[in-house]
Structure 1
Amino acid sequence: MNTQHMGSSGPPGRVTAKVLFVCWLAILFEGYDVGVMGAILPAMAEDKAWNLSPLELGALSSYALLGMFLGALVIGTVSELIGRRRMLLVCVTLFSLCMGGAAWAPTPEWFGGFRFVGGLGLGGVIPVAAALTIEYSAVQRRSFNYGVMYSGYSLGILSAAAVAMFLMQEHGWRAVVAIGLLPLFVIWPMARALPESLEYLLGQGRDDEAKALCSRLGMELPQKAAKISGEITGWRQVLAEVFARNNLRATICFWCALFCGLLLIYGLNTWLPSIMRRSGYDLGSSLSLLIVFSLASAIGGMFLGRAADRFGVRLMVAMFYLLGALAILALMWPHGMIFNYFLVAVAGIGTISASLILTGYLASYYPARVRAAATGWGLSFSRLGAMTGPIIGGYVAGSGLGVEWNFIVFTAIALLAAMAVALLPRKPGADR
């Protein structure tokens, strides 16, 4: 990973803070959009108008994830051609409008259609926000800054659960979904605060604009990166970089670990309240566990990012995937609520926090000229895991197997994630 682009000390703190805040907001909105399905699923299951089975509910939850798969695949690469800043704002606008459409949807088919289109925007936010955060962060603080930025995702999921607790009983699940329109009101302030990617400007040969931006931001002009053009970031060239011989093992490990990580995140986020209800807890307690799951991962992401900067990403992420697996397994036995909160908190850190730090490491692993594109391709594959998670939860719920099998299946997947991270090769001269 070339580190010379921002100088040895990194960009000015105020510039980093602005970029982090805008990316944090975008990820917060995405977290709400994704988390809303887990929050409203128990109410949708009881909606007599649609009368959906557990497997149908799981499939309905996966429509957005299918869109996210395609969005991450395409938008990360397209952002290198038209600009990361513009693409981030387009993505937020798209998924916000689709939340309004989903709230209106008269049938499950309409709901699924809006969720799919919104998913295109959701899938594009993470690779673009990741690339901007890594670019505008000092090398020695990248994992920490990424953890701060991505804490918005967990807080967004938390917000979805909290809004559901306050609104759903009186106004129904549609009101909870409609809150997802709110990001439209902050798009303009976000656009004014967020600078364009200097890597993008230099790669496009727009040196004068890059110099003007550096002057406005009060920072030195980075050394000119390799051209980020259609010839460099076309599909074949991106894949050639990602699957180059020196990157092949890392790519396989990244993709496998993130596949498992996102399967855990979306499977647990979608089904945790329902699983806990089947285990004998009431709806309020089940939703409060989802809030703990999200809040712990938000705080844990910053802690884990700091630890990863100090002790190495591979060691810390593999360790917390393992701890998450043990916590998920322990939930299959009855405990008091306080101990359940503790286990769910560890599971949140060991799934969401571990996966987000690993995503930041992925974004910094590949050359700057294909950073967003390579992240997008990796996350696209991991979206297959995200789509599989709700379906697996629905299959187990509707199969007649005991509720403990939900915990056993998710535990096994967390162990696979830990193994894949442990096998990641160390990148010479870069993060541990």
Structure 2
Amino acid sequence: MPSTPHDLEKRRRRSLGWVVFLSAAALVFDGYDLVVYGTVVPVLLSDPDQLGALTPAQAGRLGSYALVGVLVGALVAGAVGDRIGRRKVMLVNLAWFSIGMAITATTHSVATFGLFRFLTGIGVGALVATVGAMVAEFAPAGQRNRYNAIVYSGVPAGGVLAALTAITFGDTLGWRGLFWVGALPIVLLLPLALRFLPESPKWLVARGRFAEAEAVSARTGIPVPAAEPVVEDKVGFPALVSRRYAFPTALLGLMSFAGLLLTYGLNTWLPQIMGEQGFGKNSSLTFLLVLNLAAIFGGLLASYVADRVGAKRVVASTFVLAALSLAVLPLSMPAGFLFLAVALAGVGTIGTQVLIYGLVSNYYPTTARAAGVAWCAGFGRLGGIVGPIIGGVLVGAGVGGSTAFQLFAGISLLGALVTLLVPRPAHASSRVAAPSTTTDRTTVAA
């Protein structure tokens, strides 16, 4: 018996819900991994019995090892994701990431801890690079920034989870127990992903696999899209360095570099800096909680605006918001204003990075989308590597938080400037909206 339009729509909504839920849940553990290290840095610095004697500068470098792994994982995922599909990359790396977190929890030296932070980062990078392409290809036109923000809000949500877990159970679980929590995706998410995560029909069409796209569509209710106009005959990374995309690719990479430098720098060192300013352990961790909670809600609100006015304008504005809030953080102010400044900094740093992923995932055609997001996540992670190192050097030198916050504010302004220089997508002028759909403002106005 043929499916009715109502049945197809119900199936489509259910399939989209699974894609969004599984993608967001995977990134929750990415965010958890990001912030959990910041929550245990004070313990590792104060207790040499854990991994050995550790200086602030060494802790900053140790925090960067996972980010080197993220860079490698993102670039590898970008190289293969546009060729083998989104689903396979996600399944493999859910398992990879979980195993890496579990082994990290068992390490007893700085060297082995750093090694497995690097290996865990490979799985994180592959997931971050893949979910953006996946969501962009399943989300309805005109709502892609919103769905992207929902999914990438998993990163600050994971930060909230890490901060709450550390505040509530840190003394009970210890730092090893906090890392064991990060290994849960292999038992909580992987079985669900194997059952409910479909391959992207849009990717299948782009690869000429029309029969498979029809089969996925019949099973999930996701419509088979029309083939995109061919504006670039290269696939994956070669398309990014073509004459058409080379300049915007460089700018988008610099935007992500700035966004992730701010994100990782603050998440790694905010508790330590606030602790040195006289706040207790739980109060310092509460700043992390506020930073990431504000990023979730602020990022979602900003994505709603981005679907209407274009992501580029909103990203530039949130970079400026970050600069203003970071510049006032060193000032003496009542606690309420201080928490407000931290919240606005969360929107302008972590929230901005959420929006950048949305802009990038809709900037490139399907045949280069995973590579584009991978470039954004991978090159951006170089900024993520630099951020904790800068914080570690400044804290170790006794300069204090004021200089760090002022430096981060300057980087935010540079991020806003780079964003304004990004040109209109090359394929936007060739895209024709279907008569029954709304024009994709994300693509046209990115």
TM-score higher than 0.5: yes
Identity %: 36
Paired residue secondary structure (2:182) = helix
Of the three residues 327, 336, 344, the one matched with 2:334 is 336
Separation in 2, partners of 1:36, 1:65: 14
Deviation by residue 1:42-69 (Cα, 9 ceiling, x = unmatched): 1111122212000010011011000001
Paired residue secondary structure (1:181) = coil
2:79–2:237 contact (8 Å) kept in structure 1:
no
Map of 1:311 onto structure 2: 309
Separation in 1, partners of 2:68, 2:35: 16
For 2:444, the aligned partner's letter is D
Map of 2:192 onto structure 1: 189
* Residue-pair matches, total: 416
For 1:197, the aligned partner's letter is S
2:15–2:196 contact (8 Å) kept in structure 1:
no
1:32 positional shift: 0.8
Deviation by residue 1:233-260 (Cα, 9 ceiling, x = unmatched): 3xxxx34421333323322221111101
Separation in 2, partners of 1:208, 1:311: 37
Separation in 2, partners of 1:414, 1:313: 17
Map of 1:38 onto structure 2: 38
Unaligned runs of 5+ in 2: 1-8, 430-442
Separation in 2, partners of 1:83, 1:242: 18
For 1:31, the aligned partner's letter is G
For 2:332, the aligned partner's letter is P
1:226–1:369 contact (8 Å) kept in structure 2:
no
**Are residue 217 (structure 1) and residue 220 (structure 2) matched?**
yes
For 2:375, the aligned partner's letter is W
For 2:213, the aligned partner's letter is A
1:360 positional shift: 1.2
Deviation by residue 1:161-203 (Cα, 9 ceiling, x = unmatched): 1111122223321111111111111210122111112133234
Separation in 2, partners of 1:396, 1:201: 49
Map of 1:347 onto structure 2: 345
1:226 positional shift: 8.3
TM-score by length of 1: 0.92
1:225 positional shift: 5.3
Paired residue secondary structure (2:423) = coil
Map of 1:404 onto structure 2: 402
For 2:194, the aligned partner's letter is A
Separation in 1, partners of 2:298, 2:203: 32
For 1:121, the aligned partner's letter is G
1:75 positional shift: 1.1
Summarize the alignment of residues 185-334 of structure 1 with structure 2, pairs less than 5 Å apart. 185-186=187-188, 187-224=190-227, 232-233=234-235, 238-334=236-332
1:32–1:180 contact (8 Å) kept in structure 2:
yes
2:424–2:444 contact (8 Å) kept in structure 1:
yes
1:35–1:160 contact (8 Å) kept in structure 2:
yes
Unaligned runs of 5+ in 1: 1-8
1:36–1:177 contact (8 Å) kept in structure 2:
yes
1:68–1:120 contact (8 Å) kept in structure 2:
yes
1:199–1:225 contact (8 Å) kept in structure 2:
no
Summarize the alignment of residues 381-400 of structure 1 with structure 2, pairs less than 5 Å apart. 381-400=379-398
Separation in 2, partners of 1:277, 1:285: 8
Map of 1:5 onto structure 2: none
1:301 positional shift: 1.4
Residue range with higher mean Cα deviation, 331-340 or 129-138 = 331-340
Residue range with higher mean Cα deviation, 23-32 or 401-410 = 401-410
Separation in 2, partners of 1:21, 1:361: 20
Residue range with higher mean Cα deviation, 249-258 or 279-288 = 249-258
Paired residue secondary structure (1:309) = helix
CA distance 1:412–1:127, change in 2 (3 Å): same
Summarize the alignment of residues 44-123 of structure 1 with structure 2, pairs less than 5 Å apart. 44-49=44-49, 50-123=52-125
Deviation by residue 1:242-289 (Cα, 9 ceiling, x = unmatched): 133332332222111110110000010100100111111111111001
For 2:312, the aligned partner's letter is R
1:424 positional shift: 1.5
1:124 positional shift: 0.6
Paired residue secondary structure (1:365) = coil
Q: Say what the alpha-carbon RMSD is for the aligned residues.
A: 1.8
CA distance 1:167–1:317, change in 2 (3 Å): same
For 1:53, the aligned partner's letter is T
TM-score by length of 2: 0.90
